[in-house]
Amino acid sequence: MTFTPRSPLRIAAVIVALALPVTAQENTGPSTNVAWTINTLNLLRSGDPERGAKLNTKLECATCHGDTGLSTNETWPSLSGQPAGYLFKVLKDYQDNKLSGTDRGQLMAFIVEEMTDQDMVDLASYFAANPLPPAQPVTKQDAAETLDLLGDPKRLIPPCSVCHGKNAKGDFPDFPALAGQSPDYLKRSLNNFRAGERGNDVYSRMRLIARRLTDEEINSIAAYFAAKGTVLAQE
Amino acid sequence: MAFHIDKLEKRWIYMVAGIVVMAWGIQIYYAAQGWHPPSNVEVIDSAQLHLASGVGGDEFSEQNIGIKRDENGMLVVTMVAARYGFYPQEITLPQGEPFKMRIASFDVLHGIYIPLTNLNLMLVPGYVSEVTTTVNTLGDYPMLCHDFCGMGHAYMFGNVKIVPADEYKL
């Protein structure tokens, strides 16, 4: 199957994929096939941002995720400023059907089906080179701030910031940035982790945390990290 | 000699030099024999701990961690230390029965220590740490990481519950 940019066939395929009923696949193998070996790290270093910029248009990532990886719509996540390792891992997980527990995961699995590893690292290095999304309006979120900085030892929840980085900028190799991300997406991700529909976190690290969070905390976390973003993250 | 060294000073200098030479001697002697820190030396590919493809196989994959009995009926606790927690996070073990702890790191240097017991291991990436021990006192214990592993080191712990042996179910 070959696609030309914005061909009617491709657009029809995306619509069909979106309309498919969710058939949660039983995930039997490991959570992810990506391992941070020397070979993977060398592959990641070989990423070419210029080719990535071209692929962003050619493969129509830009249609939903924006020209520079800055999503124009609350419903799709922004990719701009994410650590390259995270972007590569997630693309690989989509391709390996590790994220097919949700309808969006299945849509992405369909889109990345024919991508090569080199395409993935090129795209990853392009989005990683762009700045984090701008901060959304700040509201005081006490519950989320406590979880971000101190966690909750009684519930075995480590602080968000120890893995996701100071001001949620993300961290090497595959800890995603949360700063400035769409609150809809953050909320959806946490709920998917909690329900086990998203399970590409090795040793269930995020699933265990998400199961111990209350609905109020999830809402608070989504608003809190959305309000970080470029301005705060560059401090 | 142009300058005077007191007899007593000389004696101390010889003693210190002797201790240094002896320490070197012990180090070189044991290094030559290939001695290493206690416990077993068993290599594993920490980066591919969750996959079957790395050195050491998939003993520490997500499906295989937890508590099992081996062919001799010995309790074996297979655990993984990853930034920032021990997985499984909470384990239950019987009082007074020996168990074998086998644990490996998924990423960086970690440690595991259960206070008031003699379970205390350094978890070096690339190696499997193993110890066999028994806990004789009932109660809830923490598992603590005692080797600085990163920003979340202070938050890295899990829970161990020791229950009477007759109430223990695997």
Last residue of a domain, one of A66, A98, A128: A128
The tokens of A23 are what?
């058939």
Phi, psi of B144 (to 5 degrees): -115, 145
Give helix then strand counts, H and E, for chain A. Answer: 13, 0
CB-CB neighbors (< 8 A) of B106 in chain A: 202-203
* Cross-strand partners of B122: B111
A50 is a domain residue: yes
Give dist(CA B105, CA B45) in Å, integer: 10
User: What's the CA dihedral at B51, A189, A94, A105 to 10 degrees?
Assistant: 140
User: Cβ of B155 and A35 within 8 Å?
Assistant: no
The DSSP secondary structure of A195-209, one letter per residue, reads HTS---SGGGHHHHH
Q: At A7, is the pLDDT very low, low, confident or very high (cuts 50, 70, 90)?
A: low
Strands B157-163 and B90-94: parallel
Contact at 8 Å (CB) between A22 and A100?
Answer: no
Q: How do the pLDDT tens digits run along chain B, 170 residues long?
A: 578 889 999 999 999 999 999 999 998 998 888 776 566 788 899 999 999 888 888 899 999 999 999 999 999 999 999 999 999 999 999 999 999 999 999 999 999 999 999 899 999 999 999 999 999 999 999 999 999 999 999 999 999 999 999 999 88
The tokens of A219 are what?
């809402």
Residues A151 and A70 in one domain: no
Amino acid A134: pLDDT: 87
CB-CB neighbors (< 8 A) of A35 in chain B: 47-48, 50-51, 53-54
Residues A152 and A201 in one domain: yes
List, for residues B19-68, the tens digit of each pLDDT value: 999 999 998 998 888 776 566 788 899 999 999 888 888 899 999 999 99
Cα angle value B29/B32/B34 (rounded, 5°): 115
A16 is a domain residue: no
Residues A175 and A119 in one domain: no
Angle subtended by helix axes A103-111 and A8-19, to nearest 10: 150
CB-CB neighbors (< 8 A) of A149 in chain B: none
User: Cβ of B82 and A156 within 8 Å?
Assistant: no
A28 is a domain residue: no
Give dist(CA A76, CA B83) in Å, integer: 29
Contact at 8 Å (CB) between A44 and A148?
Answer: no
A64 is a domain residue: yes
Residues A102 and A185 in one domain: no
Give dist(CA A35, CA B45) in Å, integer: 10
Query: Which of helix, strand or coil describes residue A21?
Result: coil
Cis bond leading into B155, ω under 30°? no
The tokens of A194 are what?
């909690």
Domain boundaries, chain B: 1-35, 44-167
Instruction: Give the total number of structural domains in chain A.
Output: 2
Residue-number span of the structural domain to which A189 is assigned: 142-233
Residues A152 and A218 in one domain: yes
Residues A124 and A163 in one domain: no
Facing A162 at nearest CB: one of B89, B155, B158: B155
Give dist(CA A203, CA A197) in Å, integer: 15
Give dist(CA A201, CA A204) in Å, integer: 5
Residues A76 and A159 in one domain: no
Chain A 157-176, CB below 8 Å of chain B: which residues?
158-159, 161-163
Residues A109 and A176 in one domain: no
Residues A102 and A152 in one domain: no
What is the amino acid identity at position B14? Answer: Y
Q: How many CB atoms lie within 10 A of CB A38?
A: 8
B82 Cβ contact partners less than 8 Å away, ≥ 6 residues apart: A202, A203, A205, B105, B106, B107
In chain A, what percentage of residues exceed pLDDT 70? Answer: 86
A135 is a domain residue: no
A22 is a domain residue: no
Q: At A124, is the pLDDT very low, low, confident or very high (cuts 50, 70, 90)?
A: very high
Helix ranges (H only) for A100-213 are 103-111, 117-129, 142-149, 160-164, 183-195, 205-211
Residues A38 and A116 in one domain: yes
Last residue of a domain, one of A93, A128, A163: A128
The closest of A29, A191, A16 to A97, measured between CA atoms, is: A29
Is B44-167 CATH 2.60.40.420?
yes
Predicted TM-score (pTM) of this structure: 0.82
User: Cβ of A151 and B155 within 8 Å?
Assistant: yes
What is the amino acid identity at position A169? Answer: K
Strand (E) or helix (H) holding A231: helix A230-233
Last residue of a domain, one of A79, A95, A128: A128
CB-CB neighbors (< 8 A) of B161 in chain A: none
Identify the CATH number of the domain in which residue A109 sits.
1.10.760.10
Mutate to test the interface with B, among A156, A167, A211 (most CBs of B within 10 A): A156
The tokens of B14 are what?
């010889």
The closest of A168, A36, A206 to B151, measured between CA atoms, is: A168
Residues A151 and A113 in one domain: no
Chain A 39-58, CB below 8 Å of chain B: which residues?
none
Residues A168 and A206 in one domain: yes
* Cross-strand partners of B127: B43
User: Cβ of A30 and B158 within 8 Å?
Assistant: no
Helix ranges (H only) for chain B are 7-32
B23 Cβ contact partners less than 8 Å away, ≥ 6 residues apart: none
ipTM of the complex: 0.80
Q: % helix / strand / coil in chain A, to the nearest 5?
A: 55, 0, 45
Give dist(CA B70, CA B53) in Å, integer: 23
Cα angle value B93/B94/B97 (rounded, 5°): 115
- Is A30 in the B-facing interface, judged by CB distances under 8 Å? yes
Query: Which of helix, strand or coil describes residue B100?
Result: strand
List, for residues A131-181, the tens digit of each pLDDT value: 998 888 878 888 999 999 999 999 999 999 999 998 899 998 999 999 999
